[in-house]
Structure 1
Amino acid sequence: MKRRQESIIYQLAVSEGPLTTDELAKRLSVSARTVKYEMIEVKSILPKHGAELLAKRNEGYSILVKDRELFDRYFEPLSLQSSLTNNFGSDDNARFLYIARKLVSSSRFAKLEDIADELYLSRSAIREAVNNVMNFLKSYHLETESKPGLGIRAFGTEYHMRIAMTELFAVHFHKVLLDNAGMEYAKWTECGYEERQDIRHVFLKVLRESPIKVTDTNTQRLAIYFIIVRNRCNAGYRLKLPDAWKEEVKGSEEFAVASEIYNKLKSSFTGFDLPEEETVFLAVYLMSCRDMWNVKQPREEYAHFYDDALNMMKELEDYMKHTCGIDLLHFPWAEKELLSLLISLYINIHFGLEGQYRFWYDYENQAFNSPVSAALACTAAGFLQDRLNVTISVSFYSQMASLIFKMASLTEYDLKPQRLLLVNSNGLGLNEIIQKRIVKRYEHLVESFTIAELYEIRGMNQEEYDAVLTDTSEIAYHYDLPCCVIHTLSSEKEMDQLFNRQLIRSYQTEALIPPSSQIEINKNYRYTDELQFLQFLAFRHGKTVLERERIQEYLEKASLYDTGYLSAKSVMLYLPVSLCEKECMELYCLTESGTWRGKEVEYLLFISADWKGDWKRVKAYENSFRKLFWENSNMKAFSERGRPVLFEMIEKCIKYE
């Protein structure tokens, strides 16, 4: 089956409702005419897998599943194949895969004209894909050479070639079979399905019994790497490593584990009787893949990198304090985790494995759904990139964002417990039961209870209380204090309603969000492109030519990290207050939807915030923006009602903590 047809089926299966031809065309980066043509095949394919294609005028296409077991058996591998954020169902990415695989698969020259012919396209149609391939190869320290009449070829060290080949498998889940985007590449990943599973099991058994921990996504990549190693070695390709590497890694835990892995593979499968260089590099690879947060004694295990990472952590801490007004080491546990992250960075830099472009699964991108954490991580990554003169990978950026999100999430808002008046139309005695139930569940949110009759409230000093809880109808309530109608609180639902309507006000968030005077909503902004918008922001917030240049330079670097993972057709741009010199929040509602990094956008949110060393402020912004970007309706509500919506978003997050 063609990749495009699979992508159409995937998009229809995961959609909450029907998709029109235009919507499918946009998701697949093809024309509406192409989608209509492919639908003929899609319609004939689905019945074989227990489903039927439905088409309704003015609504679009959908899938009706008739045999769930049969369809799920077909859809599981298809969904894995399509679960990358960079969806390889689109023609652009399929072209990228084909060209990249072709260049790393052979040392021979390849003409772009021939590649275009193989894809049934013109050379101009693959220009963008070729540029993306060049950037991919560069991220793996691979070079390209072009000669008139011969074409282009990629070359570099053998271990860089192998790592690039491993990544180009694209979907590394062990049950996924290699797709058909570039069959020349297939010879390097050739392995029977059952044997591939057995190789993976042998490797994982050794790893499970070892003292080191490797992240799950990297174990999937390593399982593919072993197959490539065997095939490359059998074809005569050998590693040539610096002599110093052998001395550096031979005494490490990773080297011992690497030796055990290859010994086990050699005893169970043919082709794994490998030279020592292979064990040395596997140790390096394991070191670069290691989950550093589980390293108990980093100073001893990584003495070669520890001091550099420690000094850089202090530099980064000072930079973030000065630039953003935030302390990355505010928490007692943060130093170990940030230091571990930097040790991992230094390991990758030392062995030439930094800055690598990786294909992402949806579940790996949770950090990018946290706009503030992602923005602060971008600031930190930008500093490290300039300071170390290296490319910081999106993988490192994501881990940094996750660390910042953890800091914000574990921060507690200040509480002002409620002073409650309890009123019950059936007599005061029932209030004792209600009070006991509230205390059992929400004791930390209540300062005091005062039991009274409804008519007595008018004679009381209402400034001494925060709210009235009563079973009387709100229609019959005529006092100034906020009122929350409750009954016996005998159900989970009633308890939740009490929290949502009243007790949530105990959380002190009012001062954490800027006043309305600092929030500007531009209803009809004429947007043309990214550069124009960045220039506009620089001109607006910079007083001098030098300030404008600094602002634009920062925003351009920050925009290189893909904020397009955010939904709601919105993008957030963050500028440290040290560059803007004032706090502000500006929402630009586009008169017509535009594109940002190739994705449709309707709202542009610009913020400059002084965090004042207060992680509660970070948390408040994160809570409000995370929800704003979650749904287009939330952003629309913010554009219409402004600041109150931010607090509604914060309260939604508090309810789920």
Structure 2
Amino acid sequence: MATEDRRIVKMFYLLSKTGGYLKSNELAQMLQLSERTVKGDIEQLKIFTRENGGSLESVRGKGYCLKAVDPPRFQQAKERVEILFSNIDKGHKENQVYHIARAVMRFEGADEEGYFRLEQLADRLYLSPSAIKKEMPGVRDFLGSFNLSLPARPGKGIRLAGGEFNRRLCLLELYENHFRKRVVTFSDSAYEQAFADRDDKDQVRRSTLEILRASDNEVFDIYVNRLVDYLLLLRNRMKDGHSLELEGNQWTVWKKEIQRCREYKLARTLASELEHFPDFTVNDDEVTAIALLLLLWGDWDGVIGLAERFPTFYPQAARLSEEILEQLGSRWNIPIRQIDSEFAEKLIPGVLRILIQMHFNLSQCRLIGNSVSENAIQDSPVAMALADDLAEILTGICRKQINEYSVQLFAVSLYGLIDSISYPYIPRRILICARNGKGSAQAIADGICRRMGTGWIGKLTVSELYEARKYPFEDYDCLIGSFRPYAYRYSWPYTEVHPILQIQDYHRIYREILLKGYDLTSVLSLCRWDVVQVHKDFAANSIQAVLQLLAYQWGLDLACKEKLAAYLCEHHRIRIHRQILTVLIPACRTGKQIFEVYLLKKAILYKGDNVKAVLFAAVDFHGSPFVLRYLEHAVRYLSDRFEDLNPSLSSEYLMDTLTEIIRDNL
């Protein structure tokens, strides 16, 4: 794959990431090329796709779409390309920032005091000084999240300032993807050298995993390979003379705290094992730093005994969890305790981990890489919107920022809460007849009960077909029979099955009968929407313009409009999933319940994503768990089915369409 034209591979990546159709002009916009160039590359793209187990399909009016022909090979190609483009893309503003930050972290042309000029940096990166200066605010912001700075001195330039441990964390994150199989996405030999192994990475990884498994500690999966990369970085930094010395009054206190944790014992065991590898001689400060990483990256959901393990932080975490959920429930009118009376306790591990990160001034460290940018929890915009608000509440109380991955972990917990909600169900009243008599009908009834259970059945009557007419129509919801010609005689919905039930019969009964029992109509009525609108062929030049329009259309007065505009333009309020940009806010900010879909006349490129529609919802859940569950489903399925739904979406039938999609997916 490395020998392929990078542009072709990038086109493959964009199509696979979109999961739907992209037109040639949309691809051109995303690649910053002419449409003519893109069309000229299509044949090469077809060949590349075919060689990797897929096919490139073209549909007039919709664009191009990838399909799997050899699924295992196609999936393998997608995974490699996703790793390849997980971060570095010079056309993407944030990724240019990372590119410059990487060069700053490993700049080799500094003077004895560490100073260098931006012109030197520009020469090394083949960029103009003006281009570098333009990106420096973003670079400073990124480095600042790791408590690093770039102080300047007139006549000398800038230098990197900050502790060795913070530098290592920053270096580690800029390594960008921590897969077991490395796919290089940038060309920087000096930077790669910082993480170079001696053909012993697999052995280091194996030893690390064995020690982790044998311990009582828990670490998030996405951090395991990061930990291995950190150990390789540790060895190379020590070799280059950058040993870790945790000095100062603050670190004196912190070291004592860390060394009382069980993570320190694990770090000590790990350090002893590493001494079997070349140049892995670590001092006590290095062991303490490894223990701190294990603390920062701990996965404690469901772990018993956290109160005894963290006596200093646990009471505060418990109090904050209660306070956060109280405010979140009030903002959105969600009966959290009614859904799960123990949810505050379930939230404690996440809050506890963040409090520990805040204590060591590391909660804001930015995480990059597709483990964050491509996290599947983002498929639930409602869970993410609630998590954004939860994080905002926590930040307001603690006065410290938290990173995106911590927000996503809150979203995981909130999605679990939402997913535990069951829709109201009206048990089904079923009449069963069969052409071979009541014995055959009884066999069908017994098979249904045995295979599908009885909890969803309110009444089940076996009858001769001719006797069915004597039953009042309103006493039954449907008729199951084994001979289609009989069906026309009765008004009940008829489901035909084989006399000897087959697997497709159970699927048909599930779709046509069982699912109809979910009372989604009453749930929809609980939503009490004031506005449901689909705007087709909506013309807009930028997402910013759309957000400003929403604010000034729905703000209650001028002051509210301005506040709403500022609120909507906060970047974390905006989530993009499958080409739909979603903005969800509490209805208290608009005074109305609103569900609007703006189908853009022309796709807009926003932060590297191609946006074809904007969904705006101002929501009050009215104290109903069912409304929360319904909206999560509605927003997610609208995004998932957008390509198919787009042509038929209308204001009149939008909610009915979404309701039936929800029912079909239960």
Task: Tell me if both proteins adopt one fold, taking TM over 0.5 as the criterion.
Answer: yes
Residue in structure 2 matched with residue 374 of structure 1 by the alignment: 384
Residue in structure 2 matching 1:261, options 260, 270, 285: 270
For the aligned residues, what is the CA RMSD? 3.8
* 2:572 partner SS: coil
CA distance in 2, matches of 1:609, 1:406: 20
* 2:256 partner SS: helix
Q: Answer whether contact 2:115 2:157 (CA < 8 A) is retained.
A: yes
Residue in structure 2 matched with residue 352 of structure 1 by the alignment: 361
CA distance in 2, matches of 1:39, 1:590: 25
Q: Answer whether contact 1:8 1:24 (CA < 8 A) is retained.
A: no
Residue in structure 1 matched with residue 477 of structure 2 by the alignment: 466
Residue in structure 2 matched with residue 165 of structure 1 by the alignment: 171
Residue in structure 2 matched with residue 528 of structure 1 by the alignment: 541
CA distance in 1, matches of 2:559, 2:534: 27
CA distance in 1, matches of 2:52, 2:609: 34
Residue in structure 2 matching 1:497, options 499, 508, 520: 508
Distance change in 2, residues 1:524/1:50 (3 Å): closer
CA distance in 2, matches of 1:89, 1:530: 22
Residue in structure 2 matched with residue 487 of structure 1 by the alignment: 498
Q: Answer whether contact 2:94 2:138 (CA < 8 A) is retained.
A: no
Please state if 1:228 is matched with 2:233: yes
Deviates more, 1:95-104 or 1:201-210: 95-104
Q: Answer whether contact 1:77 1:176 (CA < 8 A) is retained.
A: no
* 1:606 partner SS: strand
Distance change in 2, residues 1:561/1:221 (3 Å): farther
Please state if 1:105 is matched with 2:117: no
Q: How many residues end up aligned between the 2 structures? A: 646
Moved over 6 A (4+): 1-4, 16-21, 33-47, 49-69, 71-74
CA distance in 2, matches of 1:490, 1:527: 55
Please state if 1:556 is matched with 2:556: no
Structure 2: which amino acid aligns with 1:387? I
Where structure 2 has 5 or more consecutive residues not aligned to the other structure, the ranges are none
Residue in structure 2 matching 1:312, options 306, 313, 320: 320
Residue in structure 1 matching 2:661, options 643, 646, 649: 649
Which digits, 9 at most, give the CA deviation of each residue in 1:179-201, with x for residues without a partner? 44323322321222x21222222
CA distance in 2, matches of 1:295, 1:146: 47
CA distance in 1, matches of 2:154, 2:402: 34
Residue in structure 1 matched with residue 446 of structure 2 by the alignment: 436
Q: Answer whether contact 2:54 2:70 (CA < 8 A) is retained.
A: no
CA distance in 1, matches of 2:186, 2:399: 38
Structure 2: which amino acid aligns with 1:214? V
Q: Answer whether contact 2:12 2:49 (CA < 8 A) is retained.
A: no
TM-score (norm 2): 0.86
Distance change in 2, residues 1:362/1:467 (3 Å): farther
Q: Answer whether contact 1:5 1:41 (CA < 8 A) is retained.
A: no
Residue in structure 1 matched with residue 585 of structure 2 by the alignment: 575
Structure 1: which amino acid aligns with 2:100? I
Which digits, 9 at most, give the CA deviation of each residue in 1:269-328, with x for residues without a partner? 232222211111211111000112153211111112112212211210110121011244
Residue in structure 1 matched with residue 84 of structure 2 by the alignment: 82
Residue in structure 2 matched with residue 288 of structure 1 by the alignment: 296
Displacement of 1:177 = 5.4
Please state if 1:200 is matched with 2:205: yes
Please state if 1:545 is matched with 2:553: no
Q: Answer whether contact 2:430 2:476 (CA < 8 A) is retained.
A: yes
Distance change in 2, residues 1:125/1:470 (3 Å): farther
Displacement of 1:573 = 1.0
Displacement of 1:488 = 2.8
Q: Answer whether contact 1:562 1:597 (CA < 8 A) is retained.
A: no
* 2:364 partner SS: coil
CA distance in 2, matches of 1:44, 1:650: 38
Deviates more, 1:16-25 or 1:494-503: 16-25
CA distance in 1, matches of 2:662, 2:171: 44
Structure 2: which amino acid aligns with 1:12? F
CA distance in 2, matches of 1:67, 1:501: 33
CA distance in 2, matches of 1:36, 1:593: 18
Displacement of 1:342 = 0.2
Residue in structure 2 matched with residue 394 of structure 1 by the alignment: 404
Residue in structure 2 matched with residue 584 of structure 1 by the alignment: 594
CA distance in 2, matches of 1:542, 1:62: 40
CA distance in 1, matches of 2:444, 2:44: 64
Displacement of 1:208 = 1.3
Residue in structure 2 matched with residue 510 of structure 1 by the alignment: 521
Displacement of 1:377 = 0.9
* 1:271 partner SS: coil
Where structure 1 has 5 or more consecutive residues not aligned to the other structure, the ranges are none
Structure 1: which amino acid aligns with 2:308? E
Which digits, 9 at most, give the CA deviation of each residue in 1:142-177, with x for residues without a partner? 212345665444321211110010111111112215
Distance change in 2, residues 1:25/1:590 (3 Å): closer
Residue in structure 1 matched with residue 9 of structure 2 by the alignment: 9
Distance change in 2, residues 1:652/1:141 (3 Å): farther
Displacement of 1:482 = 2.7
Please state if 1:409 is matched with 2:411: no
CA distance in 1, matches of 2:74, 2:612: 35
Residue in structure 2 matching 1:139, options 145, 149, 157: 145
Deviates more, 1:246-255 or 1:124-133: 124-133
Distance change in 2, residues 1:653/1:29 (3 Å): farther
* 2:301 partner SS: helix
Paired residues for 1:412-423 under 5 Å: 412-423=422-433
CA distance in 2, matches of 1:125, 1:357: 23
Paired residues for 1:179-258 under 5 Å: 179-192=185-198, 194-237=199-242, 238-241=244-247, 242-258=251-267
Displacement of 1:634 = 4.4
CA distance in 1, matches of 2:461, 2:303: 53
Distance change in 2, residues 1:275/1:311 (3 Å): same
Structure 2: which amino acid aligns with 1:547? C
Displacement of 1:96 = 3.6
CA distance in 2, matches of 1:65, 1:647: 30
CA distance in 2, matches of 1:506, 1:54: 41
CA distance in 2, matches of 1:128, 1:359: 21
Q: Answer whether contact 2:259 2:288 (CA < 8 A) is retained.
A: yes
Which digits, 9 at most, give the CA deviation of each residue in 1:127-149, with x for residues without a partner? 66544433321222221234566
Distance change in 2, residues 1:37/1:428 (3 Å): closer
* 1:341 partner SS: helix
Deviates more, 1:394-403 or 1:522-531: 522-531
Distance change in 2, residues 1:66/1:611 (3 Å): closer
